[in-house]
Chains A and B, each alone.
Chain A
Amino acid sequence: MHTKILVVDDEADVQPLFIQRFRKEIKNGEFDFAFALSGEEALGYLDQHHSEVILILSDINMPGMTGIELLSRIRQSYEKPPPVVMMITAYGDDENRHQAMEKGANEFLTKPLDFSLLKEKLNTFIHD
């Protein structure tokens, strides 16, 4: 099964990191990644490729549109089918965690990302 995941982070090096961390899955055709460097870019991408994207992984702390804002915009604009949204932020940020859950995030992950945990969670969501 081919799953498109949109990763939103203002750090450009997140892209090669994901591609390497998930190279087996990409090679096997399990996942397909798209990247955006800001909330605005992510929304633009979703506009074009809405039907393809099944899961969105977004950083919260970004200049300009925050991950939380992006989350609420996604929840407003894309009702069917609702994409799975996982939020990522710095360790111990309870306020954002609470806010993200309230706005309808499916999962909440803290930095530094534990990739084996992320893989586990991705598999759970995709196979459900």
Chain B
Amino acid sequence: MEFFSYLAAFLLVKRLQKFLAFSPLRAKWMSQLTLASWVVVGICISAIIYLHSGWPSILGGALLLGAIWFADNEADFQPFNSFIKAHLPLGAASILAGLTEVVAPKFYDKYDNFFDFAIIAGFVWIFARWATTKKQREEINLVNQQNIQLDKLVAARTAELTQQKNELQQTLDLLQTTQQQLIQSEKLASLGELTAGIAHEIQNPLNFVNNFSEVSMELVDEMEEELAKGDTEEAIAIAADIKQNLEKIIHHGKRADGIVKGMLQHSRASSNTKEATDINKLADEYLRLAYHGLRAKDKSFNAEMITHLDETLPMANVVPQDIGRVLLNLFTNAFYAVQEKQKTAATAYKPTITLSTKSIAAPGPKGSQNIEITVQDNGTGIPDSVKEKIMQPFFTTKPTGQGTGLGLSLSHDIVVKGHGGAINIDTKEGEFTKFIVTIPV
């Protein structure tokens, strides 16, 4: 019976070798374990040859317990701990049987069947544990393999997602660049609308400059004649006329100058610097530019422009070219609406655009003021189905190629985000549209 503990020890070593065969720990343990198996065989043979009556059992049990103790303290063998511990009953039974045989041989002889049975039971127990451990290990292996597959899958997915994220980032960058370009092209498009208006607005003052200059030269000649004749009184009268003409020349020169400056300001990228601005002047200027811009395209078009400008309007702290763009956009839309209506309306229809400004008390701190700019037209109006969408980027009711769909969306951004104001709409389809822009002073 003592043979069983040696056999168990030998098999334990072999099985540990098998467990480690495919692990990175192989190199560390394989030769040691091989040596251990031969040591077990050596001890077994020596014990059977040289020892008698119970001692081989004690030695075998001790060998087994020693092996368990060693493995228990060795971190590398922790995964197999439950299997190794299964050797405890056999080791204990062998030592108990051996000790009993040595100490009480008669008792042992009488009950040796029980001891044999305990040893065999311990041995069978090892095999039972071995079988379950093996099954568990297979399951664990399976789960491990699945985990490895999952890890690979996750890694693949992560790589895919990272790539997608990079692609999306690139697309986003592209979109942001495009948005900036669109804003710039919107500005240029509105400048295009303005060009004809600007040409007309510059032509008029230039005509005056030329005419008053020419007439002044004639007057100088005349003055010289009068002086030669000795008619000082007449000469002084002519001099007064010349002076008046020069004042006119200065006035119209400045007018043209202002228009060119306004145009440059409009096309320039917004500096975003707010400055004290005369809203009445700005609005009136852009109303004229929008009107002449449209007339340049459609010579037969004509509209009545009514202005109710509040003379007591305070200067507003705004970015002039930005608010100018908003107003230009509202005027262009208003003219478009009346022009569209005129196409189908009765001959009595009189296109009318009304521009009003007034200062109103602002909610909040006492004494703070808002400026309200109202642009009303008696054009086509806005249907309810469209009203919600008109502030959305790229939404346009104009035929393809005629509107960028960015005008109102940019205007909304300028007024609301840029100036902390508001744009409100009141409209009735087929009758009128009224845009009310409110900006804090």
**Contact status A20-B215, CB under 8 Å:** yes
Give the chain A neighbours of B252 by CB distance below 8 A: 13
A69: shortest Cβ distance to chain B, in Å? 8
**Contact status A63-B203, CB under 8 Å:** no
Contact A20:B245 (CB < 8 A) given known A63-B291, A96-B299:
yes
Stretch at the interface among B53-61, B102-110, B154-162, B206-214: B206-214
Give the chain B neighbours of A20 by CB distance below 8 A: 212, 215, 219, 241, 245
Give the chain B neighbours of A17 by CB distance below 8 A: 208, 211-212, 215, 248
Summarize A's interface: helix, strand, loop or mixed.
loop
Q: Does A90 make an interface contact (CB < 8 A)?
A: yes
**Contact status A90-B200, CB under 8 Å:** yes
**Contact status B207-A16, CB under 8 Å:** no
Q: Does B388 make an interface contact (CB < 8 A)?
A: no
Q: Does A121 make an interface contact (CB < 8 A)?
A: no
Q: Does B302 make an interface contact (CB < 8 A)?
A: yes
Summarize B's interface: helix, strand, loop or mixed.
helix
Q: Does A11 make an interface contact (CB < 8 A)?
A: yes
**Contact status A11-B204, CB under 8 Å:** yes
Q: Does A111 make an interface contact (CB < 8 A)?
A: yes
Interface hits, A101-127 → B, CB 8 Å = 111-113, 115
A105: shortest Cβ distance to chain B, in Å? 15
B: number of interface residues (CB 8 Å)? 26
Give the chain A neighbours of B302 by CB distance below 8 A: 63-64, 66, 69
**Bound: A21/B252 CA distance, A:** 18
Q: Does B295 make an interface contact (CB < 8 A)?
A: yes
**Contact status B215-A21, CB under 8 Å:** yes
A7: shortest Cβ distance to chain B, in Å? 13
**Bound: A96/B299 CA distance, A:** 7
Q: Which of A13, A96, A99, A113 has the most CB of B within 10 A?
A: A13
Contact A61:B295 (CB < 8 A) given known A20-B219, A90-B200:
yes
**Contact status A63-B304, CB under 8 Å:** yes
**Bound: A73/B206 CA distance, A:** 31
Q: Does B34 make an interface contact (CB < 8 A)?
A: no
Q: Does B368 make an interface contact (CB < 8 A)?
A: no
Give the chain A neighbours of B200 by CB distance below 8 A: 61, 90
- A-B pairs with CB below 8 Å: how many? 51
A25: shortest Cβ distance to chain B, in Å? 13
**Bound: A69/B350 CA distance, A:** 13
**Contact status A16-B295, CB under 8 Å:** no
Give the chain B neighbours of A96 by CB distance below 8 A: 299
Give the chain B neighbours of A13 by CB distance below 8 A: 208, 248, 251-252
Q: Does B300 make an interface contact (CB < 8 A)?
A: yes
**Bound: A69/B208 CA distance, A:** 26
B204: shortest Cβ distance to chain A, in Å? 6
**Contact status A63-B305, CB under 8 Å:** yes
Q: Mark B296-332, 1 if CB is under 8 A from A, else 0.
A: 0001101111000000000000000000000000000
**Contact status B207-A112, CB under 8 Å:** yes
**Bound: A16/B219 CA distance, A:** 14
Interface hits, B208-245 → A, CB 8 Å = 208, 210-212, 214-215, 219, 241, 244-245
Interface residues of B (CB under 8 A from A): 200, 203-204, 206-208, 210-212, 214-215, 219, 241, 244-245, 248, 251-252, 291, 295, 299-300, 302-305
Interface residues of A (CB under 8 A from B): 11, 13, 16-17, 20-21, 61, 63-64, 66, 69, 90, 93, 95-96, 99, 111-113, 115
| 5 closest A-B pairs by CB | A112-B207, A95-B299, A20-B215, A66-B302, A64-B304
6 new A-B contacts at CB < 8 Å, known A13-B251, A63-B303, A63-B304 = A16-B244, A16-B248, A17-B212, A20-B212, A61-B295, A112-B211
